Amino acid sequence: MARLFDAYVIADWTAAEGKKLGENSVWIGVAKRDVRFRLYTETHNVATRAEGEAMIRSILADHAKRGDRVLLGFDFSFGYPAGTAARLGLKDTPAWSALWKFVASNIVDKVDNTNNRYQIAAKMNRLMTDEAWPFWGAPAKQAQRWLTTTKPPAGSGADIPEYRATELAIKGGKLQPKSNWQMHGAGAVGGQTLVGIPMVRRLLESLGASAAVWPFGTGWRALDTADVEPLSVVVAEVWPSMWPTTVAAGEFKDQAQVRTTAEALALMDERGDLSKAFGPKKGTDDAVIALVQDEEGWILGV
């Protein structure tokens, strides 16, 4: 089977405020082939999300000139647990698109990395429950009536799922997924998701018909060359911790993770296994398929 992609670009995003290089900053890993079709990787580190977005646009433009097809992966959630859009009072369909529009119109993320993610988490709590949940976790100076520094008491917002179906599929294994509702503290992904979604939305708007976001724009199904050939970019959610990583001498952990994730996906594509990874496992319930492609999204490779 022919390869689906020519290059694999993986971005490790951050919600950090202030400019920062090295650990816990924006890293971009690129796996591509040289003139002899040998796979090699390069990594880039930038101090702000704005620089990261500009670099991704430049990498994609270079590959587009060559007629390459690119798999672009980001390490934050593309959706929220089922029912989030409805609880926010969003009427448009599909739910994922309504939520992306809501987040993009509320988040202010400046070129120096300052952003209002905690205020928006509090606003979403107010709209969803008028309590300090489901979003939780904030530095003391950002805490307020609708967002607390600590996890809410057990049973608070018990009708709201803590995880999406994709995280539930991982739970109980070696890796412990994090909830989109956690905004602060070790492993928090809530902030990255809030600042990340508007950036992906801008990228897709600028790429137009040459790009699709999986599984929302493609359907949750195995993709073959006929699906990918008309496109120059397929954007997917990834979780670098899923792939075995050895940190080389002089490498940062985040740097090693974007490198090895790009390499792992390239090798899956080489073996013909990547196509199936875009679809659900056999026997998945139709209701789950609809939920994943209309609202929640899925992590590639789960």
**What DSSP line would sit under 174-200, residue for residue?**
SS----TTB-SSTT--HHHHHHHHHHH
How does strand 233-237 pair with strand 211-213?
parallel
**Residue 247 phi, psi (nearest 5):** -80, 120
User: Tokens 């991982």 sit at which residue?
Assistant: 170
Question: Per residue in 12-31, pLDDT tens?
Answer: 999 999 999 999 899 999 99
* Cβ neighbours of 69 (radius 10 Å): 20
What pTM was estimated for this model as a whole? 0.97
**What DSSP line would sit under the chain, residue for residue?**
---S-SEEEEEE----SS---STTSEEEEEEEE-TT--EEEEEEEESSHHHHHHHHHHHHHHHHHTT--EEEEESS-SS-STTHHHHTT--SSSHHHHHHHHHHHH--B-TTS-B-HHHHHHHHHHHHTSSS-SSB---GGG-BTTB-SSPPPTTTTTTS-SS-HHHHHHTTSSS----TTB-SSTT--HHHHHHHHHHHHHHHHHHGGGEEETTTTT-SS---HHHHTT-SEEEEE--GGGS---PPTT--HHHHHHHHHHHHHHHHHHHT-HHHHTSPPTT--HHHHHHIIIII--BTT-
| 221-246 mean pLDDT | 95
Is the pLDDT assigned to residue 226 strictly greater than 90? yes
Structure-block tokens of residue 89:
């009072």
How confident is the model at residue 217, as a pLDDT? 97
Whether 294 and 217 have beta carbons less than 8 Å apart is answered as no
- The span from the CA of 74 to the CA of 201, in Å, is 12
User: Tokens 């704005």 sit at which residue?
Assistant: 50
How confident is the model at residue 187, as a pLDDT? 82
How confident is the model at residue 172, as a pLDDT? 78
- The span from the CA of 112 to the CA of 31, in Å, is 29
Confidence at 208, pLDDT banded by 50, 70, 90: very high
How confident is the model at residue 77, as a pLDDT? 97
Question: Per residue in 166-187, pLDDT tens?
Answer: 999 998 788 888 999 999 988 8
How confident is the model at residue 2, as a pLDDT? 87
How confident is the model at residue 150, as a pLDDT? 93
How confident is the model at residue 186, as a pLDDT? 84
Instruction: Lowest mean pLDDT of 32-36, 52-56, 277-281, name the range.
Output: 32-36
Structure-block tokens of residue 189:
């992904």
Question: Per residue in 63-118, pLDDT tens?
Answer: 999 999 999 999 999 999 999 999 999 999 999 999 999 999 999 999 999 999 99
How confident is the model at residue 263, as a pLDDT? 96
Is the pLDDT assigned to residue 34 strictly greater than 90? no
How confident is the model at residue 95, as a pLDDT? 98
* Cβ neighbours of 218 (radius 10 Å): 19
Is the pLDDT assigned to residue 1 strictly greater than 90? no
Q: Angle, to 10 degrees, between the axis of helix 117-128 and the axis of helix 190-207?
A: 100
What proportion of the chain, given as a percentage, has pLDDT over 90?
90
Instruction: Lowest mean pLDDT of 34-43, 50-59, 86-95, 115-124, name the range.
Output: 34-43
Q: Angle, to 10 degrees, between the axis of helix 117-128 and the axis of helix 95-106?
A: 130
Confidence at 138, pLDDT banded by 50, 70, 90: very high
| 197-222 mean pLDDT | 97
| 200-228 mean pLDDT | 97
Q: Angle, to 10 degrees, between the axis of helix 190-207 and the axis of helix 95-106?
A: 100
Whether 237 and 76 have beta carbons less than 8 Å apart is answered as yes
